[in-house]
Chains A and B, each alone.
Chain A
Amino acid sequence: MVNSNTYKQYFNIWLLLMFLTVITVGAAQFDFGSLNIPIAMLIASIKAGVVALHFMHLKYEDGMTWIFATYPIFLLFLLIAFSATDIFTRVVN
């Protein structure tokens, strides 16, 4: 899977990541109100996705690896969702 193109591709990916980093820092200079965090997380997730797919070669891996790579994200979502549901619905009824 390594060929003459591989290194060039890595370089392009790196450029893309640098570009996204600039965007992240730039976006933080503006106040989007409640969208601040979602925007930052969106960009971070694109960066993370790019690293995982290209640097970590997730795009060449089989379905089982994909399941193991994504299932913890779902569990993390559960942990946050359930505990937040508790903490933010404690208002006295």
Chain B
Amino acid sequence: MPFMKFVKSLALPSEMLPPIIEEESHFDPETEHSAAKLGMWLFLATELLLFGGLFAAYAIFRAKYPEMFLEGSASLDVVLGTVNTVILIFSSYTVAIAVSAIQENRIRLVKWMLWITIICAAIFAVNKYFEYSYKISNGITPGTDIFYSIYYAATGVHMLHVFIGMAVLGVLLKKVNEGRYHKGNFTAIEIGGLYWHLVDLIWIYLFPLLYLA
């Protein structure tokens, strides 16, 4: 397990922490922490339902036009899709490590993990870019047929979430570098992590539905 060794090598505990700069709050930290998580889960519920419209459209049109979907799906690049799946799942793994590491004050590990996650996201985006441009250069556009409408709409909206996720992780990384997060203040990283996991979750469904149908 070379990666695990790498992770362990980063386990340099207790860096010097700058003084806590916290904004004033009217509520105790315990309440704030649990509230933030509950709020985030609610937000994830809305994200799920946002994609829900696309899943519903998929279900209905797939049942209506099975051949079109089989044909369309066969034209997509399974290898590229699989690579992207592996990348996203790996990035989910690294974010999970980051969330746990911050609770132990292993700041360097957190930084590394966030960096890896962002790079994974970037690779995912680059792959997607090649996929799109290849399709479009072959004259396949969102208006070609309903399958490609679903393909472009679903992966497009998902891509948008990847970009938002990258931005969120980037901001978190910046704040980690500034020393804003530590054992006593890690809610933001936990919540940002939840968002990134959702991006992964959606892809876990999109991948078989679009590429393997």
- Interface residue ranges, A against B (CB under 8 Å): 1-2, 6-8, 10-11, 13-14, 17-18, 21, 24-25, 28, 36-37, 40-41, 43-44, 47-48, 51-52, 54-56, 61, 64-65, 68-69, 71-73, 75-76, 79-80, 83-84, 87-88
Contacts and interface: CB of A to CB of B under 8 A. Distances in A.
Interface stretch (B14-22, B90-98, B143-151): B90-98
B49 A11 contact: no
B208 A24 contact: yes
Contacts of B38: 64-65, 68
Nearest to A75: B49
Interface residues of B, number: 49
Given A11-B1, A11-B3, 20 more contacts: A2-B104, A6-B100, A10-B96, A10-B100, A11-B4, A14-B93, A24-B207, A37-B209, A44-B208, A48-B205, A51-B197, A52-B197, A65-B37, A65-B41, A68-B38, A68-B42, A71-B45, A72-B46, A83-B60, A87-B63
B181 to A, nearest CB: 14
Tell me if B's interface is mostly helix, strand, loop or mixed: helix
Contacts of A37: 62, 209, 213
Interface string B177-213: 0000000000000000110010011001101110011
Interface in B39-68: 41-42, 44-46, 48-49, 52-53, 55-56, 59-60, 62-64
A13 B59 contact: no
